[in-house]
Amino acid sequence: MAGVAFEQSPAPALPRVPPWVLLAPILAFLAVLVAASLTVLRMSFGVSGNEWHAFTFRNYADLLDSYFLRSLWLTLKLAFQSMVCAVLLAVPVALAMARTESRLARRLLLAGVLLPLLVNLLLQGYGWLVMLGPAGMLNHVLLAAGVIRRPVQWLYRENGVLLGLIQTAFPLAVLPLASAMRAISRSYEEAAATLGATRWQTLRHIVLPLAMPGLVSGALLVFAYNASAFAVPLLLGGRRVAMLAVLVHDQVAPLLNWPAASASGVVLMAATLVVMSVSQRLVRGMQRMEESRS
C-alpha cells in the first residue's frame, strides 16, 4: 500500500469580504464628525432662540468687530509661535530618538515625550500656575541665577500662555519627525562625513531635507492643535489673553448664544485650514526649488 497516493481535498475558500466592510468603523467615525461640522455650520446662520428655522448672516457680520479680529490674530500668532518653538525643540529630541542604539534610552525618551499626552490638560495647566506664579519655581531660579532682580509676571500674559502651548503640543512635533528620521539610512550621513561635512552641515543639508515630510506634518499638527486650544489659554491667560476658543466658550457658557459661538468656530476652522494649506504649498515650492538647484 506504500505506492498508493491519497488525494487531499482542497481547503474550503474563505468568503471574500468587501473592502467597504473593513472601512466601516472609520467611515462611521468620519460620518459623525461630518454631521457635527454641518450642524455647527447650519447653527452659525441661525438666531439665538431660533437656531434651526431662522437664516441670517448677522453672526458673521458681527465678527468684523475689532475685538474679534484681535482675538483671531492673537490666536493665529500664538499658534504660529508655538509651532516654530516646538519644531526647533523637537529636532534634537527626534534625532536622539532616531539615532540612539539603546532600547532602554529610546523607551525613556519616548515615555518622556508622551508624558504630556498622558496627563490631563487641567493638571498641566495648574502645574504651570504653580511654576509661573510670582513665587513660583521659574522666578526662584531666575532670581537665584541673578538674571532678574524682582519676580516677573508670567501669568495672564502672552509669554506664559506660549510656554503652556509649547509644552502641551511638544509630542505632536517630536513623534512624526522622529519617525521620518528613523527611516533615513545612516549611509547618507557616513558619506557626508567621508566628504568632510560637519555634523551641522549633515543635519542641515541631508537629514532635515530628507525628514521634511515628518517635520511639516508635526508643525501643522502643532499649529492646528494650539489654534483651537482652550484649557491652557483659559488657565494661564484668563480673559487678558483672549484666544478664540476662550471667546467661543464665553459666548456659550454665560450668554447661551449658540449661533454666534458657531460662527466663531467656523471662522477659526476656516482660518486654520487656510494657513495649513498655504504652508504646505510654500513648503512644496521650496522643495521644488531645492530639487531644481541640485
**Within a domain: residue 20?**
no
User: What is the span of the domain harbouring residue 229?
Assistant: 66-243
**Within a domain: residue 265?**
no
**Within a domain: residue 179?**
yes
- pLDDT tens, residue by residue, 224-233: 999 988 888 8
**Within a domain: residue 289?**
no
**Within a domain: residue 89?**
yes
Contacts of 228 (CB under 8 A, 6+ apart): 245, 268, 272
What is the tally of structural domains in the chain? 1
**Within a domain: residue 129?**
yes
**Within a domain: residue 43?**
no
What is the CATH classification number for the domain harbouring 201?
A: 1.10.3720.10
pLDDT for the residue numbered 1: 47
**Within a domain: residue 35?**
no
Q: How far are the Cα atoms of 19, 91, 114, 180 from residue 109, in angstroms, in the given order?
A: 38, 13, 9, 16
First to last CA, the chain: 74
Low-confidence ranges of the chain (pLDDT < 50): 1, 6
pLDDT for the residue numbered 75: 92
> Which cell is 27 given?
467611515
